């Protein structure tokens, strides 16, 4: 996933973090990852375990039209994103993930 660079300074300020952090710094910051995890946990509460997000990574940049990630209509250029995020996606599947929302049977 990527973070919204326009909203990020406000979120950082509200969280007591420096507003001048780079996207790469923010992507690795524990408080930011915890905030994203809380949002994911809330979303996972509304779906089945099979549909839930079990692992995520925050990419250190953003998807832009200038970077080739988006079309002028703001549609995703899947091939660009797939190729640029290949290593990050592979890392998601390298290690087993303990789920927090699995329901016992």
Burial class (CB in 10 A: 0-12, 13-18, 19+), 23: middle
Confidence (pLDDT) at 46: 94
Per-residue pLDDT for the chain (105 aa), expressed as one digit of tens each? Answer: 888 888 888 989 998 999 888 888 999 999 999 999 999 999 999 999 999 998 899 988 888 888 888 889 989 899 988 888 888 888 888 877 665 555 544
Domain boundaries, the chain: 1-53, 63-97
Confidence (pLDDT) at 101: 55
Confidence (pLDDT) at 36: 92
């Amino acid at each position: 996933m990527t973070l919204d660079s326009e909203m990020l300074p406000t979120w950082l300020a509200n969280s007591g973090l420096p507003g001048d952090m780079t996207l790469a710094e923010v992507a690795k910051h524990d408080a930011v990852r915890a905030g994203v995890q809380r949002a994911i946990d809330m979303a996972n509460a509304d779906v089945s375990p099979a549909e839930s997000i079990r692992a995520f990574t925050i990419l250190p940049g953003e998807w832009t039209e200038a970077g080739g990630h988006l079309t002028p209509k703001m549609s995703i250029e899947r091939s660009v994103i797939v190729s640029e995020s290949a290593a990050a996606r592979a890392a998601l599947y390298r290690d087993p993930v303990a789920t927090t929302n699995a329901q016992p049977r």
